[in-house]
């Protein structure tokens, strides 16, 4: 059994599409084990995105993720990390599969609608930040 941290990002909640995105995960064999809505503080956002601190898009990224509410979920199941990343699609909505969440809902590389953990280590680290 594997678990992953998913964030449904502010662009989705602002457009009132949160339910649609949750439904996508709900329709899989994976299980939503926890869910909460939170307006991230800068501290939480900086902790979450620490590995991107030196990147040119970092400031924009922190501004975006803290500008409104996000929905944080713990999703668990077999190969949950890989499965959810497949469902989410490429980081860049223009490169993402049209049927993936980012392909369907993503606006730009920054405003790309969802996040999910990329490894077991990061999922445990991220779950401890958000839950
Ligand atoms: N070139 C870029 N320009 C602007 N924003 C970017 C760029 N690359 C990444 N980002 C932002 O930083 C986040 C984290 O980047 P990362 O490379 O970890 O992508 P990811 O693993 O696909 O996304 P996430 O970690 O959110 O699931 C991306 O989701 C996106 O919002």
Report the nearest-CA residue for atom 30 of ligand 1.
Answer: 110
- Kindly state if the Cβ of 112 falls inside 6 Å of ligand 1: yes
Q: Is 82 annotated as a binding residue?
A: no
Compute the distance from residue 21 Cα to the ligand 1 centre, in Å: 18
CATH number, position 21: 3.30.70.141
Task: Provide the pLDDT for residue 1.
Answer: 87
What does the pLDDT look like over 12-63, one tens digit per residue? 999 999 999 999 999 999 999 999 999 999 999 999 999 999 999 999 999 9
Tokens for 76? 């668990």
Q: What is the ipTM of this complex?
A: 0.90
Per-residue model confidence as pLDDT tens digits over 73-127: 999 999 999 999 999 999 999 999 999 999 999 999 999 999 999 999 999 999 9
Give every CB contact of residue 79 below 8 A, 6+ residues apart in sequence: 2
Say if 87 falls within a structural domain.
Answer: yes
Residue 53 lies in a domain: no
Measure the CA–CA gap between 34 and 111, rounded to whole angstroms: 24
Residue 63 placed within a domain: no
* Whether residue 7 has pLDDT greater than 90: yes
Write out the residue range of the structural domain in which residue 86 sits: 2-38+70-130
| Active centre residues (catalytic) | 115
Strand-pair partners of 34 = 74
Is 48 a pocket residue for ligand 1 (Cβ < 6 Å)?
no
Q: How far apart are CA 127 and CA 65, in angstroms?
A: 17
41 is in an annotated binding site: no
Asked whether the CA dihedral 32, 34, 35, 41 is positive or negative, the reply is negative
* Number of structural domains the chain divides into: 1
Does residue 58 fall inside a structural domain?
Answer: no
Residue of 11, 60, 91 best suited for mutating to test ligand 1, as the one with most atoms within 8 Å of CB: 91
In a domain, 46, yes or no: no
pTM of the prediction? 0.96
4 lines ligand 1 (CB under 6 A): no
In the predicted model, is pLDDT for residue 9 greater than 90?
Answer: yes
């Amino acid at each position: 059994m594997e678990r992953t941290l998913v964030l449904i990002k502010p662009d989705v909640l602002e457009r009132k599409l949160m339910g649609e995105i949750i439904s996508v995960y709900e329709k899989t064999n994976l299980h939503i084990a926890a869910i909460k809505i939170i307006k991230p503080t800068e501290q939480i956002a900086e902790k979450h995105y620490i590995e991107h601190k030196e990147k040119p898009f970092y400031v924009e990224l922190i501004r975006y993720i803290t500008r409104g509410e996000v929905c944080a979920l713990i999703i668990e199941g077999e190969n949950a990390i890989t499965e959810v990343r497949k469902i989410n699609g490429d980081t860049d909505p223009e490169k993402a599969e049209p049927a993936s969440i980012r392909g369907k809902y993503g606006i730009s590389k920054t405003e790309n609608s969802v996040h999910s953990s990329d490894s077991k280590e990061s999922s445990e680290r991220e779950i401890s930040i958000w839950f």
